[in-house]
Chain A
Amino acid sequence: NAGVMQNPRHLVRRRGQEARLRCSPMKGHSHVYWYRQLPEEGLKFMVYLQKENIIDESGMPKERFSAEFPKEGPSILRIQQVVRGDSAAYFCASSPARVNTEAFFGQGTRLTVV
């Protein structure tokens, strides 16, 4: 899974600041997923994107969270006005442009809100 690159690995933000998490999918992959893992919890689906399109954002909080996957460049998960409850590990995964295949994960970004 080293092919999916996430940065930064660790991010510390004060309450009220913005957090930007980046994900570069594996070469040839056009599908990107974002997941959040809270302490002692499983992986919660947040959003599924293809290039320039949000396919499914049913797991995204309605406010403060947004995601994009532009034609050029990495996918970005953006959290505005962060709160302590946003502290979690955020994982990005990518898959090729076909259904029913495994997704490959990055190492994650651990966000800490102080």
Chain B
Amino acid sequence: DQQVKQNSPSLSVQEGRISILNCDYTNSMFDYFLWYKKYPAEGPTFLISISSIKDKNEDGRFTVFLNKSAKHLSLHIVPSQPGDSAVYFCAASAQRDDKIIFGKGTRLHILP
């Protein structure tokens, strides 16, 4: 029972263009959403989050959009840079139980 789904295992984007990573969730109790970035042999690093009371949150080159009615969120990275090549995990939590549930990740390749 996968509550957080990242349906694209991998994505290739040209350097300088926009990277869009998508995530769907099934649990309507989720009210807090996070994106993490992970390099090989390292722990995940927190990137950006969004509360369910918002539909957009921006931090530098990273913007997260939340569509509650569609139970969908996306991470936009613009412009994409070589150092953005990593695995990106979408995650969600519900205030009532507070554990963070992760998707399977999307491997982003930034092409020169």
Chain A: residues with Cβ within 8 Å of the partner, total of 26
The interface bits of chain A over 1-44 (1 if a CB of B lies within 8 angstroms of the residue's CB, else 0) are: 10010100000000000000000000000010101000001111
Stretch at the interface among B13-21, B38-46, B54-62, B71-79: B38-46
The interface residues of chain A lying within 8 Å CB-to-CB of B32 are 99-100
B99 touching A33 by the CB < 8 A rule?
Answer: yes
Check B93 for interface membership: any CB of A closer than 8 A: yes
Q: Which of A76-114 contact B (CB under 8 A)?
A: 91, 93, 99-100, 102-108, 110
B105 touching A104 by the CB < 8 A rule?
Answer: no
Interchain nearest-CB distance for B104 vs A (Å):
4
Contact flag A102-B95 (CB < 8 Å), given A42-B104, A45-B100: no
Check A69 for interface membership: any CB of B closer than 8 A: no
A4 touching B103 by the CB < 8 A rule?
Answer: no
The interface bits of chain B over 20-55 (1 if a CB of A lies within 8 angstroms of the residue's CB, else 0) are: 000000000001101010000111111001010000
Chain B: residues with Cβ within 8 Å of the partner, total of 25
Contact of A100 among B43, B95, B103 (CB under 8 A): B95
The interface bits of chain A over 43-78 (1 if a CB of B lies within 8 angstroms of the residue's CB, else 0) are: 111001000000110000000000000000000000
State the CA gap A1–B51 with chains docked (Å). 22
The interface residues of chain B lying within 8 Å CB-to-CB of A6 are 43
B46 touching A104 by the CB < 8 A rule?
Answer: yes
Interchain nearest-CB distance for B15 vs A (Å):
26
State the CA gap A35–B104 with chains docked (Å). 12
A106 touching B43 by the CB < 8 A rule?
Answer: yes
Interchain nearest-CB distance for A94 vs B (Å):
11
Q: Which B residues lie at the A interface, using CB under 8 A?
A: 6, 31-32, 34, 36, 41-46, 49, 51, 89, 93, 95, 97-105
Pairs across A and B, CB under 8 Å, 26 listed = A1-B46, A33-B99, A33-B100, A41-B104, A42-B6, A42-B102, A42-B105, A43-B89, A43-B102, A45-B99, A45-B102, A48-B98, A56-B99, A91-B43, A91-B44, A93-B44, A99-B95, A99-B98, A100-B93, A100-B98, A102-B46, A104-B46, A106-B43, A107-B41, A107-B42, A110-B41
Starting from the known contacts A48-B98, A107-B42, 11 additional A-B residue pairs (CB-CB under 8 Å) come to: A1-B45, A33-B100, A43-B89, A44-B102, A45-B102, A91-B43, A91-B44, A100-B31, A102-B49, A108-B42, A108-B43
